[in-house]
Amino acid sequence: MEKEYLNQEREQIIDFGLKMLSAGLTTGSGGNLSCFNRDLGLIAITPSGVEYPDLTPDGIIVMTPDGALCQGEGTPSSETGFHLALYHARPDVNAVVHTHSPYATTFACLGREIPPVHYLVACAGKKVSVAPYAIFGSMELAESIVSTLGDDNAVLMANHGLVAVGETLSRAFDTAGEIELVARIYYQSLCIGTPVTLSDHQMDNVMEKFKTYRLPQ
Ligand SMILES: [Zn+2]
């Protein structure tokens, strides 16, 4: 099989996979990443069950938006379904990062959304909602994530983890990291007191300011 598609994207997937591991956003082969080159109509996605340090460019899977395999050794991520569903639902999204980061996942396991206790919640939206539970790898999970995410950029997956999306892999990764930080701060705040949440109006202002402060990457 020819291995000539998405060379840059496949290298990026490996770089951000390793970053995901070193940032403590996942362990082992948990979580997955993908990016969509809309000009070429091709998606690069992590393979299933390979630990991040063992990833090679030839091991990154390349597929069409309908899931037809173009190249790559091994099998695509078990969560390919929700990656593809997100690209179909959101024309502004070119990258998806899924983590099992511990603080965000703690709230996901409580079925508890993350309110705007810190302005950085605006990376995701006015809050981080919880997509109802469905078993991993299922179409039900894809539907749950897409419908709960709406126009936001991150969503908790009940009893599972976090999904962040963005126009680039770098942006989706940053959002996953910022939401993990906010989840940790929220958890710590709950441990010693009652967190103060920002108002709807205050969050409107933050989100407006992010349009120029968080420049496209
Ligand atoms: Zn997962």
What are the residue ranges spanned by the domains of the chain?
A: 7-213
Residue 1: predicted pLDDT: 47
Taking the centre of ligand 1 as the mean of its atom positions, its distance from the CA of residue 38, in whole angstroms, is 25
Taking the centre of ligand 1 as the mean of its atom positions, its distance from the CA of residue 101, in whole angstroms, is 10
| Residues 6 or more apart in contact with residue 76 via CB below 8 angstroms | 45, 46, 47, 48, 61, 63, 67, 69
Q: Distance between CA atoms of 36 and 38, rounded to whole angstroms?
A: 6
- The residue among 5, 83, 59 whose CA lies nearest residue 37 is 5
Taking the centre of ligand 1 as the mean of its atom positions, its distance from the CA of residue 205, in whole angstroms, is 33
Active-site option among 9, 11, 51, 79: 79
Taking the centre of ligand 1 as the mean of its atom positions, its distance from the CA of residue 215, in whole angstroms, is 29
Residue 217: predicted pLDDT: 59
Residue 28: predicted pLDDT: 87
Taking the centre of ligand 1 as the mean of its atom positions, its distance from the CA of residue 196, in whole angstroms, is 31
Residue range 84-140, pLDDT digits in tens: 999 999 999 999 999 999 999 999 999 999 999 999 999 999 999 999 999 999 999
Query: Residue ranges of the chain with pLDDT lower than 70?
Result: 1-3, 215-217
Count CB-CB contacts under 10 A for residue 62: 22
Q: Is 79 in the active site?
A: yes
Superfamily of domain 7-213: Class II aldolase/adducin N-terminal domain (3.40.225.10)
Q: In what order do the strands lie in the sheet with 161-166?
A: 69-71, 61-63, 42-45, 32-37, 95-99, 161-166, 154-157, 130-131
187: its two tokens: 């958890």
Taking the centre of ligand 1 as the mean of its atom positions, its distance from the CA of residue 56, in whole angstroms, is 21
State which residues have CB under 5 angstroms from ligand 1, the bound ion.
161
Residue 154: predicted pLDDT: 98
Residue 213: predicted pLDDT: 79
Whole-model pTM: value is 0.95
Count CB-CB contacts under 10 A for residue 146: 18
Residue 2: predicted pLDDT: 53
